[in-house]
Amino acid sequence: MRGASLIIFRLALLAAVLLLWEALPRLGFVNAMLLPPLSDVLAALVHILGRGDVHTSLGVTAAEVVVAFVIAVPLGAALGILAAENAYFGDIFKPMLFYVFSIPKSIFLPMFILVFGIGFPQKVAYAAFSTIFIVIMSASAAVESVKAEHLLVARSYGATQAQILRRVYIPSMLPILLEALRISMIFNFTGVMIAEMYASRVGIGRLIADWGENFEMTKLLAGVILLAAAAMLFNEAVRSLEARCSTWRT
């Protein structure tokens, strides 16, 4: 299957799914209370996009996502680079890092609530905490990915540290850094959502949790679609950027 037919096939698949979503509840095969037909959900989507409180919620969530990201990424990158450059430091902490990924970080949410109370700082702190570990790991991997041979060649030609940084490290690491950014954002967004759904008065996560509790299914599903679309859009945007920078990679 080549390029064009691939896209057509995928669109056909999507169309089939959407069709079922519309038909099954309308025809009574699925309880329309639990899964409203697609058209109703889309109508709700239009509706919520017009509401002021939804705008505010989206704004709050977006702010949390951005601030947490801005905190976690530089901090995590610094630690990750340190772990890669300093073998001793790396040897100590890297095995611990792997364990961290198996632990549900959400169990620490209560601690953040106890310390910060419920509000903006608590959610941002938790999201940053959620994200920082993958940033550390990615940064460390990125630095290590720069082939030793390339560094050796540069150094043998008398390149200064600054030149090596600019001309070897950065071009070499750019695709990986972009991928790391992309994956870190996934973690970040998830962290914000969990915090909002768990204990928050504002934010889109809180809204959809409330809609769920009140069985307002059309609005809930509309919210889910909105957030999913936003997440995927960002993901694909960074991915295409990655692809543009990766042409030299095998």
- Which residue in the set 20, 49, 92, 243 belongs to the binding site for another protein (CB under 8 A)? 92
Question: Tokens 């996502």 correspond to what residue?
Answer: 65
The region of 41-49, 53-61, 75-83, 142-150 touching another protein under the rule CB under 8 A is 142-150
Range 183-202, binding another protein (CB under 8 A): 183, 186-191, 193-194, 197-198
The region of 71-79, 154-162, 163-171, 181-189 touching another protein under the rule CB under 8 A is 181-189
Range 143-162, binding another protein (CB under 8 A): 144-145
The region of 20-28, 53-61, 71-79, 227-235 touching another protein under the rule CB under 8 A is 227-235
The region of 18-26, 72-80, 160-168, 233-241 touching another protein under the rule CB under 8 A is 233-241
Among the listed residues 132, 146, 133, the one whose alpha carbon sits nearest the alpha carbon of residue 176 = 146
Cβ-based nearer residue to another protein, 67 or 220? 220
Q: Can residue 205 be called a binding residue for another protein (CB under 8 A)?
A: yes
Cβ-based nearer residue to another protein, 59 or 163? 59
Q: Can residue 215 be called a binding residue for another protein (CB under 8 A)?
A: yes
Contact 191, 205 (CB under 8 A): no
Q: Can residue 179 be called a binding residue for another protein (CB under 8 A)?
A: yes
Range 9-28, binding another protein (CB under 8 A): 9-10, 13
Residue 177 C-beta: closest distance to another protein, Å: 11
3-state secondary structure the chain: CCHHHHHHHHHHHHHHHHHHHHHHHHHCCCCCCCCCCHHHHHHHHHHHHHCHHHHHHHHHHHHHHHHHHHHHHHHHHHHHHHHHHCHHHHHHHHHHHHHHHHCCHHHHHHHHHHHHCCCHHHHHHHHHHHHHHHHHHHHHHHHHHCCHHHHHHHHHCCCCHHHHHHHHHHHHHHHHHHHHHHHHHHHHHHHHHHHHHHCCCCCHHHHHHHHHHCCCHHHHHHHHHHHHHHHHHHHHHHHHHHHHHCCCCC
Residue 161 C-beta: closest distance to another protein, Å: 23
Distances (CA, A) of 227 to 24, 230, 232: 24, 5, 9
The binding track of 34-53 with respect to another protein, each residue x by CB under 8 A or -, is xx------------------
Residue 163 C-beta: closest distance to another protein, Å: 23
Q: Which residues of 63-73 are buried (b: 16+ CB within 10 A; e: fewer)?
A: ebbebbbebbb
The binding track of 103-122 with respect to another protein, each residue x by CB under 8 A or -, is xxxxxxxxx-xxx-------
The region of 54-62, 66-74, 91-99, 159-167 touching another protein under the rule CB under 8 A is 91-99
Residue 247 C-beta: closest distance to another protein, Å: 14
